[in-house]
């Protein structure tokens, strides 16, 4: 991962980078492909060493520079072109500009390419890439958290399909965990849980006092109404579907209560910071909650007020 400054802004809560898009603000964690950059520099260094060796042989023999095989020249030039593309992808601005000039010069003056000239170009390319790397700061992601980086499926396919509005915060929670920002991860997880809580309220046809929109309701408002809706299920006709309906809504409400006091209230009122183990606990609770919801409902559709039939028992 890479800490970027120029042209980017930093998310006030989690430190992830953000950039403007026509649709609004899109949070992005830039992953720096250090392995690709490092391998590119390694290959250029090998070609540079070969050129220097040939120059040394020419000087020691007194015969001057040996002829450069066409195959070696073509391969070395193709590697310089690839180094340019790698530098662009890695946002190594000075290096990519330097490599662009080198490649243009080589294409315009192929007759001037010999071991000495190519050695100079390769050295300049390597120095430019290393110079840009020295301007970067890197974050280490430990192997056990690598899977959390920029993942679109941390909560599974069903949650992704049924709660698309929560996708950005689920992804951000994973990125914050990977970047060792556990309190920020919990913040995003509570936003995810709120999408689920609103879906429950929508499914149960919750009406708030004074016709307040569900989006403006507090968790306390919604949970009180959902408890009433859960109790109402007990009065539905006694069927297997009724039992499945009660188990579903009771299970969902209990899952919310498990993390509400420990995480949601404390983080929203700045009463607590969290370590990575607590953040992972919050992650698992919210994931379980959203998986429960996704098994029967979504943010777009309602289930029947009274469940009937075998389809709801599964």
Mean pLDDT of the chain: 85
Least confident of 90-99, 250-259, 300-309: 250-259
Phi, psi values for residue 28, rounded to 5°: -140, 135
Whether the predicted pLDDT of 12 surpasses 70 = no
Nearest C-alpha neighbor of 159 from the set 299, 313, 307? 299
Calculate mean pLDDT across residues 184-207. 93
Distance in angstroms (rounded) separating the CA atoms of residues 125 and 133: 13
Tokens of 22: 């026509």
Could you read off the pLDDT of 41-88 as tens digits, one per residue? Answer: 999 999 999 999 999 998 888 888 899 999 999 999 999 999 999 999
Least confident of 11-25, 53-67, 133-147, 239-253: 11-25
Q: Please name every residue paired with 9 in a beta bridge, in sequence order, or none if there are none.
A: 18
Pairing, β 17-21 against β 24-28: antiparallel
Contacts of 95 (CB under 8 A, 6+ apart): 87, 125, 128, 129, 131, 132
Altogether, the residues listed in the chain come to a count of 314
Between helix 219-233 and helix 240-259 the angle, nearest 10°, is 160
Whether the predicted pLDDT of 151 surpasses 60 = yes
Nearest C-alpha neighbor of 206 from the set 191, 224, 231? 224
Taking the mean position of all CA atoms in its chain, how far away is CA 238?
Answer: 46
Confidence at residue 181, expressed as pLDDT on a 0 to 100 scale: 92
User: Residue 183 in contact with residue 277, Cβ under 8 Å?
Assistant: no
Sign of the alpha-carbon torsion through 275, 175, 256, 220: positive
Buried b (16+ CB within 10 A) or exposed e, 11-39: beebebbeeeeeeeeebbbbebeeeebee
Distance in angstroms (rounded) separating the CA atoms of residues 177 and 175: 5
Percent share of the chain, pLDDT over 70: 87
User: Residue 214 in contact with residue 206, Cβ under 8 Å?
Assistant: yes
Between 84 and 216, where is the model more confident? 84
What is the DSSP annotation of 18-48? Answer: EEEETTEEEEE-PPP-HHHHHHHHHHHHHHH
Confidence at residue 246, expressed as pLDDT on a 0 to 100 scale: 94
């Amino acid at each position: 991962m890479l800490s970027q400054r120029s042209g980017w802004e930093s998310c006030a809560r989690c430190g992830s980078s953000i950039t403007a898009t026509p649709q609004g603000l899109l949070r992005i964690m830039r992953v720096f492909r250090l392995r690709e950059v490092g391998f590119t520099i390694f290959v250029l260094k090998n070609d540079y060493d070969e050129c220097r060796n040939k120059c040394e042989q020419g000087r020691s023999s007194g015969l001057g520079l040996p002829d450069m095989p066409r195959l070696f020249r073509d391969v070395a030039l193709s590697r310089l072109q690839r180094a340019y593309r790698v530098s662009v992808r890695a946002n190594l601005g000075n290096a990519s500009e330097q490599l662009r000039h080198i490649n243009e010069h080589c294409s315009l003056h192929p007759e001037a390419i010999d071991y000495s000239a190519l050695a100079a170009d390769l050295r300049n390319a390597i120095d430019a890439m290393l110079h840009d790397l020295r301007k970067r700061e890197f974050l280490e992601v430990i192997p056990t958290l690598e899977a959390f980086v920029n993942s679109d499926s941390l909560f599974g396919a069903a949650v992704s399909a049924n709660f698309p509005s929560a996708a950005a915060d689920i992804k951000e929670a994973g990125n914050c965990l990977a970047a060792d920002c556990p309190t920020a991860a919990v913040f995003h997880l509570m936003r995810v849980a709120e999408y689920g809580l609103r879906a429950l309220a929508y499914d149960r046809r919750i009406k708030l006092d004074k016709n307040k929109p569900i989006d403006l309701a507090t968790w306390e408002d919604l949970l009180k109404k959902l408890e009433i809706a859960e109790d109402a299920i007990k009065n539905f006709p006694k069927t297997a579907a009724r039992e499945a309906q009660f188990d579903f809504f009771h299970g969902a409400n209990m899952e919310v209560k498990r993390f509400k006091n420990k995480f949601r209230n404390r983080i929203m009122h700045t009463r607590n910071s969290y370590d990575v183990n607590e953040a992972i606990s919050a992650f698992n609770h919210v994931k379980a909650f959203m998986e429960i919801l996704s098994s029967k409902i979504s943010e777009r559709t309602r289930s029947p007020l009274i469940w009937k039939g075998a389809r709801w028992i599964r």
